[in-house]
Amino acid sequence: MISIIEEKKLIEQFESIVGAEYMLTHDEEAKHKYAHDETEDYVFMPDVVLKPANTEEVSQILKICNAHHIPVTPRGGGTGLSGGALPVKKGVVISMERFNKILNIDELNLQACVEPGVITEIFQEAVKEKGLFYPPDPSSRGTCFLGGNLGENAGGPKAVKYGVTRDYVLNLEVVLPTGEIIHTGANVLKNSTGYNLTQLMIGSEGTLGIITKIYFKLRPYPRKDVILCASFRSSEEACEAISKIYMAGVTPSGMEFVDRDSIEKTKKYLAEVLHTPVNMEIGEEVQAQLIIELDGNDEEVLMKEAETIVEVLDNYGSGEVLFADSKQQKDELWKLRRNVSPAVNSYSLTKSEDVVVPRGNLPALVTDIKEIGKEYGFNSVCYGHAGDGNLHINIMKENISDEDWNGKVNEGIGKIFQRVVELGGTLSGEHGIGIAKRPYMSMAVSEVNLNLMRGIKKVFDPNGILNPDKIF
């Protein structure tokens, strides 16, 4: 590999493609923004940051980098929690921030065509104005990009009823590491025409190609919703109740779990840091809560489903079930849930895990996580999209020494992953592998499967330039 910053000719070529204004080379302070994401305290400085404006520019950059074997890391909003957008081998970061246009919302076909640098919430709101619904809803929606969501196959609370990002993508425009531009599929609802390259690209964490255009399918926006908040005397009871609600025949559009520590830290953060306190008391005996959302178009049906849920919860002697009556109460509950991750991170450096198990095994998992924490000397908060078995575990550094943080705690994480796999689960439900979970990949994925993945990578990226050292 050559040190590209010293290569005057290369830098001139990059400048002639994107323009001096959209290139960072020697400004270390400006480049620092592109050296980290939201994963722990990782920092990897790129040599150069390029901000292309269109597909042709991306293609030209990749052709040059491929010819010179220069590592390239695609970057979206930089909110990733597994280090996917970090230039671990230096080289070029391609920031997709100028790909920020919604190109078309097709109300006739319930489809949309967008650039990958559009912020998720802006897209959600734009389609909502037309009565349409884009359900993937990561808590980072105010800052993450749709391209990054595809990179990680993002989920969020509504995945439990509506599925994840991959369920809404019909077709992609992609620039391959060699610089060739392809479309992966067609803008149709059914497609049995060869291998599904669209789905292969989603969740590939920017290792197979750079997405430059996305064709989404959409749904009609549900007109009504009901939100309940149920309290429990233990995390295990809360997790057990989740399966019982499904067994009673109800499919909520959100089923979020928060343990007591998450709630307390988030309330404090909202009051003291964001100065927007939420008006929610929790009893001393409460150890966990479920935030349950039902949506649809018929209020009567939703109220019947809510009654069924309350009947299920009666069996747990879990205390009161609150109905969020007003929009303000609903917004407060979601605000609380969306801010758990920033709240815990403002309290302590964390390692953030994103495991997923069949939902019936969640009670066993939450017990084991606390036991493993005791054994390896760390505290953790647990919360997440528990309706689909997806639990976020934020392990807090607090007063743990750097040596233990990088040694003993990592061993404990390995033990959690081992338990997750024994319970029929896997390492990541929506945050991806990146660099943070890479050392554990072989616990969940066999060598045969890993070799298939390595083979696919080689076909797409013969010189191994695109987002090297990620996933496996």
Between CA 427 and CA 444 the distance in angstroms is: 7
> What would the two tokens of residue 371 be?
């036991």
Binding flag, residue 336, ligand FAD (CB under 6 A): no
Q: State the Cα–Cα distance between residues 117 and 96, nearest whole angstrom.
A: 5
Rg, C-alpha atoms of the chain: 23
Q: Which stretch binds ligand FAD (CB under 6 A): 43-51, 143-151, 264-272, 437-445?
A: 143-151
In eight-state DSSP terms, residue 84 is T
- Does 205 participate in binding ligand FAD (rule CB under 6 A)? yes
Interaction between residue 57 and ligand FAD (CB under 6 A): no
Q: Which residues pair with 380 in a beta bridge?
A: 395
First vs last C-alpha separation in the chain: 21
Applying CB under 6 A, which of residues 152, 236, 256, 461 lies at the interface with ligand FAD? 152
Q: Sign of the CA dihedral 292, 294, 299, 301?
A: negative
- Residue 412 is a binding residue for ligand FAD (CB under 6 A): no
145 binds ligand FAD (CB under 6 A): yes
389 lines the binding site for ligand FAD (CB under 6 A): no
CA atoms within 13 A on the CB side of 326: 4
In contact, 17 and 57? CB cutoff 8 Å: yes
Instruction: Give me the half-sphere count of Cα atoms (radius 13 Å) on the Cβ side of residue 9.
Output: 4
Phi-psi region of 277 (alpha: psi -120 to 50; beta: other; left: phi over 0): beta
Binding ligand FAD (rule: CB under 6 A), the pick from 25, 66, 79, 198 is 79
Which of 35, 38, 265, 351 is in the footprint of ligand FAD by CB under 6 A? Answer: 38
Buried b (16+ CB within 10 A) or exposed e, 135-170: bbbbbbbeebbbbbbbbbbbbbbbbbbbebbbebbb
Binding flag, residue 430, ligand FAD (CB under 6 A) = yes
Does 71 engage in binding with ligand FAD (CB under 6 A)?
A: no
Question: Of 137 and 368, which CB lies nearer to ligand FAD in the complex structure?
Answer: 137
Residue 59 lies near ligand FAD (rule: CB under 6 A): no
Please select the residue that binds ligand FAD; options are 59, 111, 140, 287, rule is CB under 6 A: 140
Pick the closer one to ligand FAD by CB: 305 or 437. 437
Q: Which residues lie across from 382 on neighbouring strands?
A: 393
**Angle between the N-to-C axes of helices 327-338 and 340-347, in degrees from 0 to 180, rounded to the nearest 10:** 40
- CB neighbour list of residue 195: distance below 8 Å, 6 or more residues apart: none
Per CB under 6 A, the segment of 80-88, 215-223, 291-299, 320-328 that binds ligand FAD is 80-88
The single residue among 18, 23, 62, 85 that binds ligand FAD, judged by CB under 6 A, is: 85
Q: Does 155 bind ligand FAD (CB under 6 A)?
A: yes
Give yes or no for residue 116 binding ligand FAD (CB under 6 A): yes
Q: From the list 77, 91, 185, 203, which residue makes contact with ligand FAD (rule: CB under 6 A)?
A: 77
User: Is 115 among the residues that bind ligand FAD (CB under 6 A)?
Assistant: no
Judged by the rule CB under 6 A, the positions of this chain that interact with ligand FAD are 37-38, 73-81, 84-85, 96, 116, 138-140, 144-145, 147-149, 151-152, 154-156, 205-206, 210-211, 341-342, 430-431, 467
